[in-house]
Amino acid sequence: MIKVIAVSPAKQSIKFLLMLGILISGLFSASICAETSVSDKLTLEVAVTAALEKDPWLVGNQHIQDSISAMSVSAGTLPDPKVSISTVNLPVDTFDIGQENMTNYLKFGVSQMFPRGDSLAIRKKQLELEADQYPHQRQDRKARLAVKVSQLWLDAYKAQESIALIEQDRSLFEQLADVAEIGYASAYGMTQQQDIIRAQLELTRLDDRLTKLYQQQEMFQRRLSEWLSDYFVDQYSTRSGTGTPFQIFNLQLDKRLPDIKLINAQLCDPESETNPEVLYQYFSQHPAVKALDQKIESTDTGIALAKQKYKPEWGINAGYGFRAENQFGNDRADFLSFGVTFDLPLFTANKQDKEVESAVYKAEAVKTEKWLLLRKLIASFDTAKTGLRRLNERQELYQSQLLPQMHEQAEASLSAYTNDEGDFAEVVRARIADLNAEIDALDIDVERQKSIVQLNYFFADDANEIVAGNQTSGVEK
């Protein structure tokens, strides 16, 4: 049996206006997407590349390495010889250089010290090992910077696209408010004054949400400016002219959400547990850990250097004394002298022994830094992996069930209202719930990309790999 509902002409016009408004709103939002789909705005890959080019920390770290490398050459070189020129045994009563036989009116001497044992070679090696940690530090810095900039970019993107979703639906709420006013003015149907007030209230709430999102977007853009701006680049880098200039105060991000490739997908599989021993094999090759390995080798060399203190320090010296004629005009022979000096490290209990002991403790302390770092890396990996698993579950739930159900509920409430079988408040609630679900789905998609970026940090050989996309481009939201 088919139920026939009689609809008055006024109500038919209200229904027509409502459906027309929704159609226009949908077409308008589609045109907006088409206009903004041009990829001439700041992409995630461009942002990361620019940040890596303009980071002053990397420049400073390179200078420190160059300084230590230069110092290693100096440390492996013998100390400069010492030269002395003097007058010896000059009589003070007459100051006559020929009066006394022992007077050398000019004595020239030279001495050279030789450091203990193999101290020079060991110290040079120690500084070389210390310098070798800086390339690993820069590699880790680049990876961390890629993660940092990616998270800021994705946060700004989430705010930007949330604004787009709200502005897209705001026109629909304006249409609902207009329809409510028409329905109330025509005195047909179930429209009441409180429906008009409710529609205006929801518009005000949307305006407040937009203001809050604009604030978040601007804050994240300003934080991005720390890494993307050209401020003072020419003061510390010769590459200032190669970078891409950005208008930070009017920054527009790409509309497409990046589809970042998970580097070690098998190990990062959220459904499988990872043995810490397996993670240790991977993380042992991480730049941050390799930098600490170099530091450990340097401190171990410090133990060998401290043990050289048990050996004597040697020195040689030579002198040549010129003598003038005596008071009778007879020539006198010049004097030649040479010698060897060395110290005797006999009392070692409170000096050499303690220096070696101190070097051993220092080396052991650095080793604990490595184990702390490995534990932190493993825990951070497990945290990001667990987060990705839950985000995958939520993404599947939203895409397969929640979003379709929300859309269906919104359409059903609208259909009931236009057929005078539902109330206006239910239409508004359903549309608000649908909008919130869209924003939540966006939040899940963005947080999922941030988790992938964090996981890529643990396995990337190059910083640009952290944000490298899959062959399929990102989806425009």
pLDDT, tens only, 327-379: 667 777 888 889 999 888 888 888 889 999 999 999 999 999 999 999 999 99
With contact defined as beta carbons under 8 Å apart, do 281 and 473 qualify? Answer: no
130 found inside a domain:
yes
What CATH code is carried by the domain that includes residue 162? 1.20.1600.10
CA distance 430 to 412: 9
Instruction: Summarize pLDDT for 287-332 with one digit per residue, the tens.
Output: 999 999 999 999 999 999 999 999 999 999 998 888 777 666 777 7
For the segment 91-119, the average pLDDT, to the nearest whole number, is: 81
With contact defined as beta carbons under 8 Å apart, do 402 and 311 qualify? Answer: no
369 found inside a domain:
yes
CA distance 20 to 198: 21
With contact defined as beta carbons under 8 Å apart, do 409 and 434 qualify? Answer: yes
CA distance 176 to 413: 13
94 found inside a domain:
no
What is the three-class DSSP state of 83? strand
112 found inside a domain:
no
> Residue 437: which domain range?
9-78+123-310+348-476
40 found inside a domain:
yes
Contacts of 356 (CB under 8 A, 6+ apart): 303, 306, 307, 309
**Is residue 233 over pLDDT 80?**
no
With contact defined as beta carbons under 8 Å apart, do 359 and 306 qualify? Answer: yes
13 found inside a domain:
yes
With contact defined as beta carbons under 8 Å apart, do 141 and 58 qualify? Answer: yes
* β partners of residue 83: 110
pLDDT at 247: 59
Q: Crossing angle of helices 352-397/287-307, nearest 10°?
A: 170
Provide the residue type at 129 as one letter: L
Our count of domains for the chain comes to 1
330 found inside a domain:
no
Phi-psi region of 232 (alpha: psi -120 to 50; beta: other; left: phi over 0): left
354 found inside a domain:
yes
pLDDT at 8: 46
List Cα–Cα distances, 31 to 37, 211, 296, in angstroms.
Answer: 10, 24, 60
**Is residue 400 over pLDDT 60?**
yes
Minimum mean pLDDT among 185-199, 217-231, 450-464: which range? 185-199
